[in-house]
A = this chain, B = another copy of it.
Amino acid sequence: MPTRAALASDTFRVGDQAGDVASGTVAAAMDRLGVPKMFSRNAEIFGEGEPAGYVYKVISGAVRAYKVLADGRRHVVAFYLPGDIVGLAVEDLHNFSAEATTRSKVLVVKRSALVTLAASSSKFARQYWTQAIRETLRAQRRLLMLKLTAQERVVAFLLEMGERIPGKNSLELKMTRQDIADYLGLTIETVSRMLASLENTAVIEMPMSRRIVLRNRPALNRLQHAGC
């Protein structure tokens, strides 16, 4: 798992990051070319099936990518946090919808601008695609959840967020329990109960429902015995 830049969630020192060269230039290009846009909570960024003319980079807040099943069940395909790029891995049309889970700032870039860049620099092209491929790896990794228990899924979620959000052990969740449940394939009640039980066993602490402190990482890693 590539280490992500330590962005304080709103100060966005965007662009380059020490550990991760490949994402650097694509991200940097987006910083140069992108037009910043604010989205209020639950505002749609793009819809499933729409032409994928733009690529997005999250600056602050968070974005959920989701699909709605025929019978109304909602599935959250991915969360994008500050620094993440949304919409690289598509063919012509978006294959999911995207909304801000909270008031968010997003850079909007014409895909064609990136394609032009890629055409002129094979190095850039390579990095562009590498970045897109990473989406595959993440999705495939998430597929492991099919076999995990509710507790393991919630723990996996917390550890994932712990890696991606700055601030050592304290996370501010930018999404509702419903979002989390739809991401993990559980119900909000189960998510709530699992968090409560983790708090009871002193593995985490929840000063507020959206604020979670990872008190005992080794224990968390042990609970998520799905190696990944």
The answer, yes or no, to whether A39 is at the interface (CB within 8 Å) is: no
Q: Is A42 an interface residue (CB 8 A)?
A: no
Q: Given A125-B125, A136-B135, are A184 and B70 neighbors across the interface (CB < 8 Å)?
A: no
Check B144 against A143 for contact (C-beta < 8 Å).
no
A45 an interface residue at 8 Å Cβ cutoff? no
A176 close to chain B: CB less than 8 A: no
Residues of B within 8 A of A147 (CB): 69, 73, 75, 182, 185
Whole-angstrom distance between the Cβ of A182 and the nearest chain B Cβ: 8
Interface centre among A89, A133, A146, A227 (most CB of B within 10 A): A146
Pairwise interchain contact B136-A69, C-beta atoms closer than 8 A: no
Question: Which residue of chain B has the shortest Cβ distance to A226 in the bound complex?
Answer: B69
A90 sits at the interface (CB 8 A): yes
How far does the Cβ of A63 sit from chain B's closest Cβ, in whole Å?
15
CB nearest to A89 among chain B residues: B136
Complex interface: chain B residues within 8 A of A227 (CB) = 69-70
Question: How many Å lie between the Cα of A125 and that of B121 in the bound state?
Answer: 13
A140 within 8 A of B: yes
Indicate how many identical chains form the complex.
2
Specify which chain B residues have a CB less than 8 angstroms from the CB of A141 in the assembled complex.
Answer: 95
* Residues in B whose Cβ lies below 8 Å from that of A142: 139, 143
In the bound complex, do residue B144 and residue A75 qualify as a contact, i.e. CB atoms below 8 Å apart?
A: yes
Q: A133 touches which one: B67, B89, B144, B228 (CB < 8 A)? A: B89
Q: Which of A63-100 contact B (CB under 8 A)?
A: 67, 69-71, 73, 75, 77-78, 89-91, 95-96
A95: which of B90, B132, B137 is its contact (CB, 8 Å)? B137
Instruction: A67 to B227: give the CA distance in the assembly, Å.
Output: 10
Query: Does A197 reach chain B (CB closer than 8 Å)?
Result: no
Q: Indicate if A225 sits at the interface (CB-CB under 8 A).
A: yes
Cross-chain pairs A/B with CB under 8 angstroms, 6 sampled: A71-B226, A89-B133, A95-B140, A96-B140, A132-B136, A139-B143
**Extra A-B contacts (9), CB below 8 Å, given A75-B144, A77-B143, A89-B133:** A69-B144, A70-B226, A70-B227, A71-B225, A71-B226, A95-B141, A139-B139, A139-B143, A146-B184
